[in-house]
């Protein structure tokens, strides 16, 4: 039996402390350093975070192999349901509409699942470890809030080196480009921070840190002007209060069930009447109603046909951005919509009823488990931590009704961090320190080794995919500079690092297509041969890009140019029609059909196309100009035909 303290925590050796410190440092990255990479919303930001976090989880998973006396601890409630969901997501990669996008989503799920396990195992390593872990998290987000305060004071619209999108104005966002995503982090941490401030058992340093976090983050949360974050905060505080009331008894629970919603409503009404920023944002909802939600409700209205087409298994992870355009009816303008602004609807679209059902079962199971754990917690501190983490989860789940916060890489890792710490502390006195022997030991070692192998493989996929992304980006920049040899070499490197990445194949196709267009040779025959050779090379690359992602219409447009160069205008027209039909709200693709018909001398058909663009409200200057030109042309021809013949 190992020596433990009054918390049920062990006294690890110096060697184990160093080992654990490295693992924890790696696990912390997504929710600390990852935030400072513009919220890690782009591949260059989240790919390193995936690899770093997975390596941290790997170190935790192999602890039983490195330290055979590592104590056993139960996973958090609902963990195995989410494990089944993660396996379902991984298996879905092979049948997804765009396997490359689905693979990134699968890596996120595996990373988050492994981090959830790792945090619960590591938080209770010593009696004070969990305090330092929460201290670091609150300090990190407090720095984010300080940066947001500096932005606000200076009236800056820059987020580090990048300009904030114009529609956000001067709303506070820290190092996130979107203020709603930063608001989600703050609202997630507020319930726990409030409990820590008023808990004498926590100790002075952590209480002071929680107070400091609240002091610098409260005004920032208001300045984010995120209605989803405000609503999530109120729900999270109510959920936390209800759990603590239930721990004290049924009478307290029913009293809180009546009082807390009233208090939340009163707080919201007071903020609306006394805070100008809150008043403006809430008044916008009252005045515009559904219009205040922007493109959210029109996008949601487009979902029923999409869901009916793939009700059980969905289109695959990360497929929404690629499969949505043909279903777009209620959203007028063409833009690239990566997310649906409702995590539950997007879960249904991408993973079907099976995926959404597993998610809801996992949430329900986990929620019931947390409620029971709060009531049965052996210490008041453990109950407070569990209730605060549950409030953060409730806040995020409400926010997810109107946003895609679980797709923002650092945000779910913040939730896993506080949830894992809370569960680890609650399990400290329940952990088994007796040595594992016999078949149980071998089973444990096999499970640890297999899980670590999965984490290592996923980390390698994240690294190779991230490196491929960087080389492709370098190739795009070189192509824009017309440095064609360098661009071709960069695209080839991107393909070698990740053969499933369609973009470098598209880049090579566009590059060789441009080379075919500008190829010159003093010998006309040699010039024709050179153009045909380059166009044929471009076709090979573009067809490979289509094979990897059949729903990228940039490939279809590029192929139309290649077919024109190869002297096959009918094939070029077919590609133009393909792009215009798939992205029927895309002005450029719609107009390319008419322009291609004009190149082929089929002006009457071209006029019909341009007129249809105008009638559908999907027309730019090209359509209006061509309608005028062609109508005048045909009117002139008609007038010439109807004119009497000239006298002899």
Q: Is a pLDDT exceeding 90 seen at residue 332?
A: no
Residue 433 binned pLDDT confidence (cut-offs 50, 70, 90) = very low
Q: Are 142 and 217 in contact (CB under 8 A)?
A: yes
What pLDDT is stored for residue 8 in this prediction? 46
Strand segments, DSSP code E, in 359-403 are none
Query: What are the tens digits of pLDDT across the range 448-480?
Result: 899 999 999 999 999 999 999 999 999 999 999
The model's confidence at residue 436, banded by pLDDT at 50, 70 and 90, is low
DSSP class of 378: S
Window from 68-72, 393-397, 411-415 with minimum mean pLDDT: 68-72
Share the mean pLDDT of the chain: 91
| Residue 287 pLDDT level (bands cut at 50, 70, 90) | confident
Distance CA 40, CA 50 (A): 10
Give the C-alpha separation, 48 to 282, whole Å.
38
Q: What's the CA gap between 207 and 51, in Å, rounded?
A: 33
Q: Is 414 helix (H, G, I), strand (E, B) or coil?
A: helix
Supply 88's token pair. Answer: 């379902």
Residue 226 phi, psi (nearest 5): -90, 110
Q: Which residues of 281-290 are buried (b: 16+ CB within 10 A; e: fewer)?
A: bbeeeeeeee
So what's the pLDDT on residue 648? 60
- Residue 135's nearest CA partner among 42, 207, 70 is 207
């Amino acid at each position: 039996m190992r020596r433990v303290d009054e918390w049920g925590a062990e006294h690890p050796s110096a060697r184990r402390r160093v080992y654990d410190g490295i693992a924890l440092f790696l696990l912390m990255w997504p929710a600390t350093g990852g935030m400072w990479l513009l919220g890690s919303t782009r591949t260059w930001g989240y790919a390193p975070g995936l690899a770093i976090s997975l390596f941290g989880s790997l170190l935790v998973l192999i602890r039983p192999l490195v330290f055979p006396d590592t104590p056993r601890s139960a996973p958090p409630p609902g963990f195995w349901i989410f494990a089944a969901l993660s396996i379902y997501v991984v298996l879905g990669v092979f049948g997804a509409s765009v396997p490359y996008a689905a693979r990134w989503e699968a890596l996120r799920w595996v990373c988050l699942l492994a981090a959830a396990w790792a945090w619960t195992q590591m938080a209770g390593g010593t009696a004070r470890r969990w305090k330092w872990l929460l201290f670091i998290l609150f300090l990190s987000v407090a720095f984010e809030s300080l940066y947001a305060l500096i932005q606000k004071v200076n009236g800056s619209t820059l987020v580090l080196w990048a300009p904030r999108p114009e529609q956000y104005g001067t709303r506070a966002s820290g190092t996130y480009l979107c203020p709603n995503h930063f608001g989600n982090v703050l609202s997630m941490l507020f319930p726990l921070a409030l409990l820590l401030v008023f808990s004498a058992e926590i100790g002075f340093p952590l209480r002071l840190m929680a107070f400091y976090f609240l002091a610098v983050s409260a005004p920032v949360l208001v300045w984010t002007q995120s209605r989803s974050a405000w609503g999530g905060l109120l729900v999270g505080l109510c959920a936390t209060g209800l759990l603590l009331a239930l721990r004290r008894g049924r009478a307290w629970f029913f009293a809180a069930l009546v009082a807390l919603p009233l208090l939340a409503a009163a707080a919201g009404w007071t903020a609306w009447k006394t805070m100008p920023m809150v008043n403006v944002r809430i008044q916008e909802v009252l005045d515009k109603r559904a219009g205040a939600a922007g493109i959210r409700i029109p996008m949601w209205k487009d979902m029923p046909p999409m869901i009916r087409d793939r009700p059980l298994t969905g289109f695959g992870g990360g497929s929404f951005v690629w499969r949505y355009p043909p279903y777009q009816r209620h959203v007028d303008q063409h833009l690239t919509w990566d997310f649906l602004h409702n995590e539950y609807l997007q879960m249904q679209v991408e993973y079907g009823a099976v995926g959404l059902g597993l998610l809801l079962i996992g949430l329900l199971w986990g929620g019931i488990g947390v409620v029971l754990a709060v009531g049965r917690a052996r210490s008041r501190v453990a109950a407070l931590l569990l209730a605060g983490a549950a409030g953060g989860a409730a806040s995020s789940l409400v926010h997810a009704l109107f946003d895609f916060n679980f797709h923002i890489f650092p945000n779910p890792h913040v939730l896993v961090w506080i949830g894992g710490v809370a569960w680890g502390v609650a399990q400290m006195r329940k952990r088994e320190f007796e040595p594992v022997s016999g078949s149980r030991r071998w089973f444990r070692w096999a499970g640890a080794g297999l899980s670590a192998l999965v984490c290592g493989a996923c980390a390698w996929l994240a690294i190779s995919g991230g490196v491929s992304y960087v080389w492709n980006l370098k190739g795009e920049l070189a192509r824009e500079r017309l440095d064609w040899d360098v661009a071709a070499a960069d695209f080839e490197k991107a393909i070698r690092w990740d053969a499933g990445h369609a973009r470098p194949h598209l880049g090579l196709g566009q590059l060789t297509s441009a080379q075919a267009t500008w190829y010159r040779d003093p010998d006309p025959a040699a010039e024709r041969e050179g153009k045909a050779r380059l166009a044929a090379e471009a076709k090979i690359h573009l067809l490979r890009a289509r094979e990897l992602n059949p729903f990228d219409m940039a490939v279809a447009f590029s192929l139309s140019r290649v077919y024109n160069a190869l002297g096959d205008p009918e094939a070029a027209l077919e590609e133009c029609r393909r792009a215009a039909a798939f992205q029927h709200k895309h002005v450029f693709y719609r107009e390319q059909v008419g322009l291609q018909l004009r190149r082929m001398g089929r002006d009457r058909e071209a006029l019909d196309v341009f007129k249809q663009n105008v009638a559908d409200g999907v027309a730019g200057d090209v359509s209006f100009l061509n309608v005028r030109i062609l109508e005048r042309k045909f009117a002139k021809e008609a007038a010439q035909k109807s004119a009497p013949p000239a006298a002899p």
